[in-house]
């Protein structure tokens, strides 16, 4: 049997530090770039940014350091005057742009070294869209796109960052449809890479799962815009994450492994999509270490499978 290994990386803003630290630990144990051990990478929002960086074989440790060194620049709040009385996004994407420009320069999707899929929402057409490397002769449309533009598109979280506009249209965070893109990766493997379901394996790395529930207060039950605010998007991301996880457990069974953590109430207050400080960083790294140790203890067979795996060579179709 020829195993086909997929890597799925969830969205979660600054909580992507958790994913980056897990990946850095995994690269250290495998003694190679993580993308060299997987046949397909899938990532959404910050997970998409990480997947694109991994596909260029940028070390996961370097990605982790960018979170620690540049996080505050990315999530730098507008002043009340610049928000236009709250009619603009919470943050500009200026800081994010500079970090991504440093990572990706002018490279295009066609220059990636490994197969990747990145979900986004094409707001101009009002539908989901998946950006793909040219790993099938039918997939030629995206190879000219700049990696920088794709990264900014998939991470344009509503209310947090502005809609990303290009000559090709207006784009919004892919987390609205696939915060956990793992099921999309399975479909891609079957539809465009000729893989049977029985051969597909997946390692998913999350960004600390949180369940967003109702307090049943009259204020919340009134369902006004102000009572929802950012919570509506957090609820969408969380619900999609759980749906994907359930589907992947059902279809892949023990061929699906997720490295993730749950946050307790007090921790949830300290680790949010846009919370960047020493305390949040420390919690994210500690929980990543704990989750990775748990993975090593319970998934030795799967880790050995990854260690020994030699993916099919990625030869882009031109």
Tokens of 34: 């993580």
DSSP-based three-state secondary structure for 9: strand
Q: Distance between CA atoms of 302 and 295, rounded to whole angstroms?
A: 9
For residues 15 and 28, the answer to whether their CB atoms sit within 8 Å is no
45 is catalytic: yes
Instruction: Count Cα neighbours of 50 within 13 Å in the Cβ-side half-sphere.
Output: 37
Among candidate residues 273, 276, 280, the one with its CA nearest the CA of residue 89: 273
**What is the rounded (10 degree) CA torsion for 12, 226, 280, 241?**
-30
DSSP-based three-state secondary structure for 135: coil
Catalytic-labelled residue, pool 173, 245, 260, 274: 173
Q: Distance between CA atoms of 107 and 118, rounded to whole angstroms?
A: 16
Q: Distance between CA atoms of 183 and 244, rounded to whole angstroms?
A: 6
Tokens of 200: 């597909």
* Pairing status of strand 4-9 against strand 127-132: unpaired
Q: Distance between CA atoms of 156 and 92, rounded to whole angstroms?
A: 10
Residue 162: DSSP 8-state? P
Q: Distance between CA atoms of 129 and 121, rounded to whole angstroms?
A: 6
**β-strand partners of 41:** 7, 116
Tally: H helices and E strands in the chain: 13, 8
Catalytic-labelled residue, pool 45, 153, 155, 263: 45
For residues 239 and 293, the answer to whether their CB atoms sit within 8 Å is no
Residue 6: DSSP 8-state? E
- List active site positions: 45, 173
């Amino acid at each position: 049997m020829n195993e086909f290994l997929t890597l799925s990386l969830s969205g979660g803003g600054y909580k992507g530090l958790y994913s980056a630290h897990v990946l850095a630990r995994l690269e250290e144990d495998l003694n190679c770039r993580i993308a060299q051990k997987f046949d397909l990478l899938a990532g959404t929002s910050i997970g998409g940014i990480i997947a694109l960086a991994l596909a260029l074989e940028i070390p996961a440790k370097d990605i982790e350091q960018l979170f620690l060194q540049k996080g505050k620049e990315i999530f730098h709040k507008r002043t009340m005057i610049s928000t236009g009385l709250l009619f603009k996004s919470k943050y500009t994407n200026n800081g994010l742009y500079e970090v991504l420009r440093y990572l990706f320069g002018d490279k295009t999707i066609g220059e990636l070294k490994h197969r990747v899929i990145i979900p986004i929402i094409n707001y101009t057409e009002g539908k989901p869209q998946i950006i793909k490397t040219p790993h099938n002769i039918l997939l030629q449309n995206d190879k000219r796109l700049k990696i920088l533009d794709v990264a900014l598109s998939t991470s344009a979280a509503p209310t947090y960052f502005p809609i990303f506009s290009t000559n090709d249209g207006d784009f919004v965070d892919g987390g609205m449809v696939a915060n956990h893109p793992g099921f999309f990766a399975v479909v891609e493997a079957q539809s465009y890479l000729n893989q049977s379901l029985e051969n597909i394996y997946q390692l998913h790395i999350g960004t600390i799962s949180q369940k967003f529930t109702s307090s049943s207060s009259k204020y919340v039950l009134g369902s006004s815009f102000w009572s929802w605010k950012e919570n509506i998007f957090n609820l969408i991301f969380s619900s999609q994450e759980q749906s994907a996880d359930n589907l992947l457990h059902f279809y892949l069974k023990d061929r699906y492994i997720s490295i993730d953590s749950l946050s307790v109430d007090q921790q949830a207050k300290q680790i949010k999509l846009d919370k960047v400080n020493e305390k949040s960083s420390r919690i994210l790294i500690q929980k990543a270490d704990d989750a990775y140790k748990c993975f090593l203890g319970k998934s030795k067979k799967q880790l050995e499978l990854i260690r020994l795996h030699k993916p099919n060579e990625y030869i882009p179709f031109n």
